[in-house]
A = this chain, B = another copy of it.
């Protein structure tokens, strides 16, 4: 009754180090804008999807998991020749997990965003109206569509079936499971073109016209490719679950819908982030490590209970006890398991306690559309609906210094103020949080005549930044 997703990317940051990208005192807006600026040139090249459906009679979930390899194979000579960045460390990480890059680059499923899809439709329409224009001699641009490269037959069926399955999944809760092959296949080109002969009889002409249109529709579907699966997920009305899913959501919008807006995103669906859920009451106190692998282990032990989940007929089952490849489908599966355990745990507080809490339960609603913010100390999530939380940062200082400074220099500078915490912004600045807000003004005052460094309060820093933006 819900879907879990996970994405693998060709990299995380094209500029700042990951710790600079995820500063502890980012505001949700800043974090979003940094990720938009530094993470979107990478490719989301594996998409894991796992569907979970509760069988009330048997009191267990039936799950189906899919691994989609994604690659923006150029569709024809006028289609965009996408350039994407790879980050060695991310690629190396995936390589060590046994990730199969050949499946991405040889058999990856193409996609179009909405604008590209619109343009391609227009191209087809133009071609058609030219063909109908009884031999009009208008000049055809040398860029015009020529030999469309189609999706291999077996993958075509795969996509059609997944789309169908997701659509079924919401139409008919009792539908039989569909068998779906794993996504593989070899690449082939279809180069047929129909040459319209001018003096065929009217009936034959119409028949050919229809044939041609059906073929064009198929070509279009192929080119839209994986975007159709994403649209089906988004339109399913199902709760969509991810772990630490902000980057996944941003990449998904960017790649399959449209360029990301400047300030923030909103979605017309329900998302739930299991990393946020695990970091929030009542889980916060009993879960130490919210990284996916650790969370999954923790949720098998008391007071939690491992959920009953079986894979549907014809689907491979994952064994969480043995070590697994770091593939997106498996991570999506684990994410789903975590959600079920945590949801059911919430049911234990009801009176009478409930063993099974569904994805539609009121108990889950507080977590909807709030995405976990990595390493932010005092704002747990980015709110997709309504304003973000405004934390009090009256114990925080913004410090500027020469780039030779190390953490030890900052500790030394603030040695009179007891325990401090340092959050690096870049080479020459950091936030320093003091344990007592009263000391903030003292620190600012004593720094007034310093030459090598500069200290201001967090409030002053925010104001200046705001002023700069206005100018």
A→B interface (CB under 8 Å):
10-11, 14, 43, 71-74, 81-89, 91-92, 94-96, 99-102, 104-106, 139, 141-142, 187, 406-408
CB-CB under 8 A from A74, the residues of chain B are 88-89, 92
28 pairs, A vs B, C-beta closer than 8 Å? A11-B83, A71-B91, A71-B92, A72-B88, A74-B88, A81-B88, A81-B89, A82-B88, A83-B85, A83-B86, A84-B88, A86-B86, A92-B105, A94-B105, A95-B102, A95-B105, A95-B106, A95-B187, A99-B105, A100-B102, A101-B101, A101-B102, A101-B104, A101-B106, A102-B102, A139-B406, A141-B406, A142-B406
Taking A74-B89, A91-B105 as given, write out 15 further A-B residue pairs in contact, using a Cβ cutoff of 8 Å, ordered by the A residue number: A10-B86, A11-B83, A43-B86, A71-B88, A71-B92, A72-B88, A74-B88, A83-B85, A83-B86, A84-B88, A85-B85, A86-B86, A92-B105, A95-B105, A141-B406
In the complex, A74→B86 CA distance in Å?
13
Contact A139 B95 (CB under 8 A): no
CB-CB under 8 A from A83, the residues of chain B are 11, 14, 85-88
In the complex, A420→B265 CA distance in Å?
52
In the complex, A85→B42 CA distance in Å?
9
With A187-B95, A187-B96 as contacts: A139 and B88 at CB distance below 8 Å:
no
Say which residue of B10, B88, B141 sits within 8 Å of A73 (CB atoms): B88
CB-CB under 8 A from A100, the residues of chain B are 102
CB-CB under 8 A from A99, the residues of chain B are 105
Contact B88 A85 (CB under 8 A): no
CB-CB under 8 A from A106, the residues of chain B are 95, 101
In the complex, A85→B89 CA distance in Å?
14
* Closest B residue, CB atoms, query A104: B101
Contact B408 A139 (CB under 8 A): yes
CB-CB under 8 A from A43, the residues of chain B are 86
CB-CB under 8 A from A10, the residues of chain B are 86
CB-CB under 8 A from A86, the residues of chain B are 10, 43, 83-86
* Closest B residue, CB atoms, query A17: B81
CB-CB under 8 A from A408, the residues of chain B are 139
* Closest B residue, CB atoms, query A81: B89
- What is the CB-to-nearest-CB distance from A152 to chain B, in angstroms, rounded to a whole number? 12
- What is the CB-to-nearest-CB distance from A112 to chain B, in angstroms, rounded to a whole number? 13
- What is the CB-to-nearest-CB distance from A54 to chain B, in angstroms, rounded to a whole number? 39
- What is the CB-to-nearest-CB distance from A37 to chain B, in angstroms, rounded to a whole number? 14
* Closest B residue, CB atoms, query A42: B83
With A85-B85, A407-B142 as contacts: A73 and B92 at CB distance below 8 Å:
yes
CB-CB under 8 A from A14, the residues of chain B are 83
Pairs of residues from A and B, 9 with the lowest C-beta to C-beta distance, nearest first: A101-B101, A95-B106, A82-B88, A95-B105, A81-B89, A72-B88, A101-B105, A139-B408, A74-B89
CB-CB under 8 A from A94, the residues of chain B are 105
CB-CB under 8 A from A11, the residues of chain B are 83
- What is the CB-to-nearest-CB distance from A188 to chain B, in angstroms, rounded to a whole number? 10
Contact A84 B81 (CB under 8 A): no
In the complex, A407→B141 CA distance in Å?
9
CB-CB under 8 A from A85, the residues of chain B are 83-86
CB-CB under 8 A from A139, the residues of chain B are 406, 408
In the complex, A100→B95 CA distance in Å?
13
- What is the CB-to-nearest-CB distance from A19 to chain B, in angstroms, rounded to a whole number? 10
In the complex, A406→B143 CA distance in Å?
10
- What is the CB-to-nearest-CB distance from A256 to chain B, in angstroms, rounded to a whole number? 16
Contact B73 A81 (CB under 8 A): no
Contact B95 A87 (CB under 8 A): no
CB-CB under 8 A from A71, the residues of chain B are 88, 91-92
CB-CB under 8 A from A84, the residues of chain B are 85-86, 88
CB-CB under 8 A from A73, the residues of chain B are 88, 92
* Closest B residue, CB atoms, query A409: B139
- What is the CB-to-nearest-CB distance from A140 to chain B, in angstroms, rounded to a whole number? 9
- What is the CB-to-nearest-CB distance from A100 to chain B, in angstroms, rounded to a whole number? 7
In the complex, A141→B406 CA distance in Å?
7
In the complex, A43→B83 CA distance in Å?
13
